[in-house]
């Protein structure tokens, strides 16, 4: 029968265990510090940690939030939903058109060219009907960029009596 021998720390081995623990803590703090600095830089450069992760994942046309939700608007009133787009492709990109899931959705000013490193707001006007006060939909923006030919956006609008229509 084979027996395993577990070594127990002796008085002489404790200083080396302490040194290893101390080194591990220092390394852990350094890694955490670099991650924190990276997140802070990414938030400053790209606007959010999510946008930083999208950029690191290869995306170069960044949107502040792909899905927006607006509540507290009057039924039957138009609602303006703003999406902020940032072009980090290294060349100008043109938004050449759109397709919306609802004919009640309109985006003015297309085609629209985003210069290199430019950030711009694109506004979608959604007109709620009085008989359908809650609405969810999608907007597909088409670009001339080969890497990102389409940007899919989503929205949901919920009407409440007595509220304003612009957000």
Domain residue ranges of the chain, discontinuous segments joined by +: 14-56, 61-159
pLDDT at 134 over 70: yes
pLDDT, one tens digit per residue, over 108-132 is 899 999 999 899 999 999 988 877 7
pLDDT at 159 over 70: yes
Cβ(83)–Cβ(53) under 8 Å? no
- Quote the Cα angle for 131-82-159, to 5°: 25
How much is the pTM?
0.69
What mean pLDDT, rounded, does the chain reach? 84
pLDDT, one tens digit per residue, over 39-94 is 787 777 777 777 777 778 888 898 988 999 998 888 888 999 999 999 989 899 99
Cβ(162)–Cβ(74) under 8 Å? yes
Second-level CATH architecture of 61-159: Sandwich (2.60)
């Amino acid at each position: 029968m084979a027996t395993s021998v577990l070594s127990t720390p002796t008085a002489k081995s404790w200083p080396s265990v302490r040194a290893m623990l101390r080194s591990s803590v220092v390394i852990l703090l350094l890694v955490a510090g670099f991650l924190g600095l990276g997140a802070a830089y990414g938030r400053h450069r790209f606007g959010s940690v999510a946008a930083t992760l999208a950029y690191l994942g290869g995306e170069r046309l960044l949107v502040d939030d792909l899905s927006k939700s607006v509540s507290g608007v009057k039924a039957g009133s138009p609602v303006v939903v703003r999406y902020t787009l940032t072009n980090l492709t290294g060349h100008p990109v043109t938004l050449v058109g759109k397709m919306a899931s609802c004919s009640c959705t309109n985006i003015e000013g297309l085609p629209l060219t985003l210069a290199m490193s430019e950030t711009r707001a694109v506004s979608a006007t959604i007109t709620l009907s009085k008989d359908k006060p809650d609405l969810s939909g999608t907007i597909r923006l088409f670009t001339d960029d080969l890497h990102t030919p389409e940007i899919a956006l989503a929205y949901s609008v919920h009407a409440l009596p007595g509220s304003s229509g612009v957000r």
